[in-house]
Amino acid sequence: MSFGVANHLTAAAVVLPFICVAFGGSAFAAALIFPVFTAATLLGAVVAPRVLALRPVARSLALILTLIAAVFTITGFGILVVSPGWLNALWIVAAVVGLLSGIASIAVVEVMSSSLATSEKAALSVVQSTGGAILTLVITVLLGLFFLDPNGRDAHIALLWIGIVAMLVAALSLLRIRPTGSGSAITPHSIGILDALRSRPDRKSPWVREFLITQVLFLSIALGTSFYSVHGATVNGQKSAALHYIVAVTAVGSLLFTAVWTLSRHKATIRGLLLTAAALGVFAAVAALIADYSGAEVLPILSGVVIVFAAAGGAATSSTRSTWMYHNLGHENDTEIIIFCQVVLGVTATGVGLGLSVLARLDTVAPAWVMLILSAYALFHARRGPRVRIMDIRTDHGHSNHGRHFGGFHW
């Protein structure tokens, strides 16, 4: 659960933009943080197999989490002493953290694959997601009620410190893990990025093309939480409660999706998850429009509703992406398909993220209308999703690619 708390409280795409604006950095510099983070995460996911082949994966993951905590610690102390102009370089921090996070995204799956039974993996995922969200909610509420600094600056840093501690706890807990399988490190694969792109697996496997088209159309939903957070940082970055509020309602959004998933998992299909994610994206955009057209009195409540729907939609999109990959992978050309999809989606997400970050800076109703149109089209397209029951999908593949199936597919 400490890993889940750390993910919420040190989310670079949410926390760093708020810190940048609150301490005197420019809104444009804050908007750059997320696309840079996304591009670096892509690079980290691609180089992860070679990095993780150097030592046991659990210890590598512990080291990576420690390095991320160290980067955030240096950043936290540096913010307190540097001039506001240097805050515009926080995108460098986002790049370093993104690179390490991309490697960690591969390592987490590999650790779970080698250390847990099949039934335990799903249970741990639910416990980590739910427990982490609840603890995050409790922490932000307690800080907001009793320890919130009126000027907002130290309040933002306080969340970062707690996230660093949670990440170190998660790193220490990994040292106790021993793999149940025979291998302790990921075997590097010889195929490179250019080779995977030249192979064009989307021509050989029709599902790859449909998968990529759908995921590109769903990028506005997958990036919704970051979009509305950047917009919130631009508008409310100097307010002491702003970051706490967004982190708390993001946790509520994660709990909302967990509840929906728990109630429907036995009947849910990939198509149903796509429709759910798109509908949540539409609800978030509609709530944003209502907030833009309403008075300041109801703005905090409506802004919270927007983030709740956006976070739940993002979680649903991520789950759909993973299950769709699980359903189709398990063949000899898995590696080139994974790398191809990582590169295409990563590059596209970086470009879309940059566009949405710039759009989020506009103090008009236009951003909400754009998000509504994109989400509505995604909802229309979701009808073409596979009608495959998720409970029928086999989640154990009998080859060494298993630990690479999801790397680079989380934003």
pLDDT at 330: 63
Q: In this structure, is residue 410 part of a structural domain? A: no
- DSSP states of 107-144: HHHHHHHHHS-HHHHHHHHHHHHHHHHHHHHHHHHHHH
pLDDT at 403: 36
Q: What angle do CA 339, 116, 268 make, to 5 degrees?
A: 70
pLDDT at 377: 95
Do the Cβ atoms of 61 and 107 come closer than 8 Å? Answer: yes
Find the length of the chain: 411
Q: What SS3 class is residue 411? A: coil
Q: In this structure, is residue 411 part of a structural domain? A: no
Do the Cβ atoms of 152 and 240 come closer than 8 Å? Answer: yes
Q: Which residues contact 411 (CB under 8 A, 6 or more apart)?
A: 38, 41, 222, 223, 226, 314, 318, 349, 353
Q: In this structure, is residue 98 part of a structural domain? A: yes
Q: In this structure, is residue 326 part of a structural domain? A: yes
pLDDT at 226: 78
- CA distance linking residue 58 with residue 260, whole number of Å: 31
- DSSP states of 3-50: HHHHHHHT-HHHHHHHHHHHTT--HHHHHHHHHHHHHHHHHHHHHHHH
- CA distance linking residue 10 with residue 6, whole number of Å: 6
Do the Cβ atoms of 339 and 17 come closer than 8 Å? Answer: no
Do the Cβ atoms of 36 and 98 come closer than 8 Å? Answer: yes
The whole-model pTM stands at 0.77
Q: Which residues contact 302 (CB under 8 A, 6 or more apart)?
A: 287, 288, 290, 291, 294
pLDDT at 351: 86
Phi-psi region of 268 (alpha: psi -120 to 50; beta: other; left: phi over 0): beta
Q: Which residue range(s) make up the domain with 234? A: 2-404
Q: In this structure, is residue 38 part of a structural domain? A: yes
pLDDT at 193: 64
Q: In this structure, is residue 373 part of a structural domain? A: yes
Nearest to 404, CA basis, from 340, 353, 348: 340
Please state the three-class secondary structure of 172-236 as a single string. Answer: HHHCCCCCCCCCCCCCCCCCCHHHHHHHCHHHHCHHHHHHHHHHHHCHHHHCHHHHHHHHHHHHH
Query: Bridge-partner residues for 389, per DSSP?
Result: 269
Q: In this structure, is residue 409 part of a structural domain? A: no
Q: How many structural domains does the chain have?
A: 1
- CA distance linking residue 127 with residue 121, whole number of Å: 10
- DSSP states of 86-103: GGGGHHHHHHHHHHHHHH
Q: In this structure, is residue 365 part of a structural domain? A: yes
Task: Give the CATH number of the domain where residue 24 resides.
Answer: 1.20.1250.20
Mind listing the pLDDT tens digit of every residue in the chain (411 residues)?
A: 666 777 777 777 777 877 787 777 777 787 788 888 888 888 887 787 778 777 777 888 889 999 999 999 998 888 878 777 788 888 899 999 989 988 887 777 667 666 555 444 555 555 666 777 788 888 877 776 766 554 556 667 777 888 888 888 888 887 776 655 544 455 555 556 666 667 777 777 788 888 999 999 999 998 888 788 767 655 554 554 567 777 888 888 888 877 877 777 677 788 888 999 999 999 999 988 887 777 655 566 677 788 888 888 888 887 787 778 777 766 555 667 777 787 888 888 888 888 888 888 777 788 889 999 999 999 999 988 888 777 766 544 443 333 333 344 444
* Burial letters 91-111, b for 16+ CB under 10 A, else e: bebbbbbbbbbbbbbbbbbbb
